[in-house]
Amino acid sequence: METTSTLEKTLRLLALTLVVIFFMFPIVWIFLMSFQTNETILRIPPQVIFEPTLSNYTALITGKLTSAAGTLDIAFMKNLGNSVFLSVTSVALALVLGVPAAYAFARHKFKGSEDIAFTLLSFRFAPPLLVLLPLTQYFQWLGLANTYIGLIWVYQLICLPLILWIVRGYFEDISADVEYAYRIAGHSWFATFRRIALPLAGPGIAAAGLLAFIFAWNNFVFALVLASADKQPVTVGALAFVTSSGIQYGQIAAAIVLSVTPTLALALYAQRYLVEGLSLGAVKG
């Protein structure tokens, strides 16, 4: 028995190692690439031993990309700022709109409430490319093309349904009696929402907000079509590294590392809420 269990352990460890290598290798490789020049990256065969350089990061941060063909301006830091601004405001707006709506859908069954909720969810079904063309037209008429407001509005297509449907489930999980008890004790429905429903659904709201943030951050196609250079997030801005004098692999790698960092940090910080929030029944009284 002892031998089989040792064998089993070894095999399990081996399998885990393979899986980790498979998933982590690209990330580690990009991390390593970000400290190399284009020349060392393109060496054949590739080498793990190299002289690290911070030139990629300095180029990104100063915004000056020096290549064989000359100096090029790169608005990466601006793009990163746009990403942060667009994602944070979009998620904030989606929370302000979505959480009360989720509460209404969870607690008040009115005529057509299911239909409205489903319609909001259906925004997620349509391929973004399908709605982009008419949207671009409308936005030009409305003067919303290439504005932050326009982009934040479109980002609601991504964030709002997500928050609405996840948070609604959490509100439905709160026993109605708990809320009744607070009402009967003499508090208004709004106080009940604020003091009982919101804190109890807190982990779920945090989880939904984080997911919405990641989706908004990673969005590419809406920003590609609806925003020009100065409003673009990193996902679109990265295209600038494909220059006439070649692809700047080092800078791309550094840009990826920088743009992954905020979501990664947020996810690590919010991990306990995620686990708490995504495991159902966390708010049973």
Partner 1 sequence: MTTLQLENIVKRYKNHTVLDNLSLDVKDGETLVLFGPSGAGKTVLLRLVAGVIDPEEGRILIGGADMTDVDAEHRGIGMAFQNFALFPHMDAFENIATPLEAKRSSADAIKAGVHRVAKLLKIDHVLTHQPKALSNGQKQRTALARALAGSPPLLLLDDPLRNVDAKLRFEMRLELPRVLAAQGATVVYVTQDYKEAMALGDRIAVISDGRIRQIGTPEDIYNAPADIDIARLFGDPTINLLDVTPNAEADGVSVLLSDVRIALPGIPANAAGKACVLGLRPETLRFVPAGTPGAIPVTVEAETPLNEKTVTLALTVRSREILVSRPAGTPGPASGSAHIAVDGANAFLFDKETGALIARHGSHTGTQGEAA
Residue 279, classed as helix, strand or coil, is coil
Locate tokens 């490319």: which residue? Answer: 129
Query: Applying CB under 8 A, does 253 fall inside the site for partner 1?
Result: no
Report, in Å, the least distance between residue 223 CB and partner 1: 39
Torsion, Cα 118 120 126 131, to 10 degrees, reads 150
- The CB-side HSE value for 228 (13 A sphere, CA atoms) comes to 4
Interacting residues with partner 1 between 176 and 235 (CB under 8 A) = 177-178, 180-189, 196, 199-200
CB of 177 to partner 1, least distance (A): 4
Does position 113 bind partner 1 by CB under 8 A? no
Q: How far is the CB of 205 from partner 1 (least distance, A)?
A: 14
Distances, alpha carbon 83 to alpha carbons 148, 221, 234, 259, in Å:
11, 14, 6, 9
Q: What share of the chain is helix, strand, coil (3-state, %, to 5)?
A: 75, 5, 20
How far is Cα 126 from Cα 122, in angstroms, rounded to an integer?
7
Pick the closer one to partner 1 by CB: 189 or 269.
189
Alpha carbons 207 and 270: distance in angstroms, whole number = 8
Beta-strand pair 246-247/64-67: unpaired
Question: In the complex with partner 1, which residue's Cβ is closer, 161 or 277?
Answer: 277
Measured from the CB atom, the residue of 70 and 285 that comes closer to partner 1 is: 285
62 or 113, CB closer to partner 1? 113
Q: Is 283 in the site for partner 1 (CB under 8 A)?
A: yes
CB of 174 to partner 1, least distance (A): 9
SS3 assignment, position 247 = strand
Residue 276 beta carbon to partner 1: minimum distance, rounded to whole angstroms: 13
Closest approach of partner 1 to the CB of residue 12, in Å: 36
Q: Choose between 66 and 113: whose C-beta lies nearer to partner 1.
A: 113
Six-digit token pair at 278? 């995504």
What distance separates the 2 farthest-apart alpha carbons in the chain? 75
Q: Indicate the residue among 104 and 159 with the shorter CB distance to partner 1.
A: 104
Number of residues lying near partner 1 (CB under 8 A):
19
Of 119, 175, 245, 271, the one binding partner 1 by CB under 8 A = 175
**Which residues contribute to the site for partner 1 (CB under 8 A)?**
175, 177-178, 180-189, 196, 199-200, 283-285
